[in-house]
Chain A
Amino acid sequence: MTEVKMTVNGRAVSGDAEGRTLLSTFLRETLGMTGTHVGCDTSQCGACVVHVNGNAVKSCTMFAHEAAGAEVATIEGQAAPDGTLNKIQQAFQDYHGLQCGFCTPGMVMSAAALLKENPQPTEAEVRDYLEGNICRCTGYHNIVRAIMAASGQEVPAVAAE
């Protein structure tokens, strides 16, 4: 075990990690930040998406030591310090963009990465960007609507309605 240091949600953190310690494991078990979820552990589901130096990555498919010195952003840093949800989180609540909530941390972090890159995405671009995030409650329509709302655009009547 060797020490790894990084910044998580603006706070300098450090902890011991083995070579094989995944970033998701470091966040959840070493730092106790269990907001980042591990669904599949095989890079498929996207529940573990966090931002590393501003880019969305699957934290189950990156070693903690690879994030040494990096700026990491997780779901815990999305709301304001007083608990006020950010506009993406609020839109997920308003549009019922979560059912069981397990995929939500990854969905919100992917949505945040998308809107940073493309502030006014089309519905098709939202669906394309969420290709690596799986919701087993099959709540995609409302997730897409929430992201459209969070981008300040008209919320589409989706195909299934």
Chain B
Amino acid sequence: MYNFDFEQPGSVEDAVAALKEEDALALSGGQTLIPSMKQRLNAPSKLVSLTGIEALKGVCQNGDTLSVGAATTHATVAADGGAYAALAALAGGIGDPAVRNRGTLGGSLANNDPAACYPSAVLASGATVVTNAREIAADDFFDGMFATALDEGEIITSVNFPIPEKASYQKFEQPASRFALTGVFVAKYADGVRVAVTGASEEGVMRWAEAEAALSADFSPEAVDGLTVAADGLISDLHGTPEYRANLIKVLTKRAVAAA
């Protein structure tokens, strides 16, 4: 890995200032960034560590919203996120225990890996991504594979999840990487059902509108029986064809509804 300057500011303001340098990057848990730097896919001149900022950590319930600090680890969300049980279960299934002790919600979202788990929860929950500068609706945040609405140097500070009536995340795990070969998050709210799919589309996390309509009318696994998912635009790799992933989306949606 190429060398870089390391900074660990204690406040969001100091972190924003430190990120103004050209080629500076924010470092959260580093569970993706450090391996990619070892491969020289990333070579920042400076890393600004966010995990020393206490204001970015913790899980807190405000009425029917669960607010999670961006630098909260997966392990902490799994342990303290019980008010939104499906979210806590998702966090407890990411990677392995040692990865969950470092990886963070904000890091996962800012990276927007097309097979990451968290983007599906944020999109299915219609959550709000809060940054140092603004609030971004989930539907506006994800912008294709590894791309988001974040500007240069903009830092996610927290995410506000409306707590659903029922929800479940079902992941078909790629056992070597422990990422989702395909994963589906189903969340039922008073005003309708949202279904988000990760690991399947070449555009990254996506909603499945037909299933949302069917499940909003009838929240049962059978409600999606008549639907089919087009394989166009789905990921093809050695682990699965687009057709295989299309089938997984439907199977996992049914499992999620049954488990919710």
Contacts and interface: CB of A to CB of B under 8 A. Distances in A.
Interface string A126-149: 000101110000000000000000
A58 B96 CA distance: 10
Contacts of B47: 19, 63
B151 interface: no
A114 B3 CA distance: 34
Given A19-B3, A43-B31, A66 B49 contact: yes
A132 B175 CA distance: 11
Contacts of A110: 97-98
Interface string A30-72: 0000000000011110100100100111100111011010000
A64 to B, nearest CB: 9
B8 interface: yes
Contacts of B30: 61-63, 66
B38 interface: yes
Given A113-B97, A131-B178, A61 B3 contact: no
A18 interface: yes
B97 A131 contact: yes
Given A129-B97, A131-B97, A19 B6 contact: yes
A63 B6 contact: yes
A57 B96 CA distance: 10
Contacts of B49: 65-66
A7 to B, nearest CB: 17
Given A42-B38, A66-B49, A58 B2 contact: no
Interface in B83-133: 95-99, 101-102
A57 B97 CA distance: 8
A20 interface: yes
B76 to A, nearest CB: 10
B189 interface: no
Given A57-B102, A61-B34, A20 B3 contact: yes
A46 B101 CA distance: 13
Interface in B37-63: 37-38, 47, 49, 51
Contact of A57 (B3, B37, B101): B101
Nearest to A18: B3
A46 B96 contact: yes
Contacts of A62: 30, 34, 102
A20 B75 contact: no
Contacts of B6: 2, 19, 63, 65
Given A19-B4, A63-B6, A46 B34 contact: no
B102 A61 contact: yes
Contacts of A55: 75, 101
A42 B35 contact: yes
Interface of A: 2, 18-20, 22, 41-44, 46, 49, 52, 55-58, 61-63, 65-66, 68, 110, 113-114, 129, 131-133
Interface of B: 1-6, 8, 30-31, 34-35, 37-38, 47, 49, 51, 75, 95-99, 101-102, 176, 178
Given A43-B34, A57-B98, 11 more contacts: A20-B37, A52-B101, A57-B102, A58-B99, A61-B35, A61-B99, A62-B30, A62-B34, A66-B51, A131-B96, A133-B96
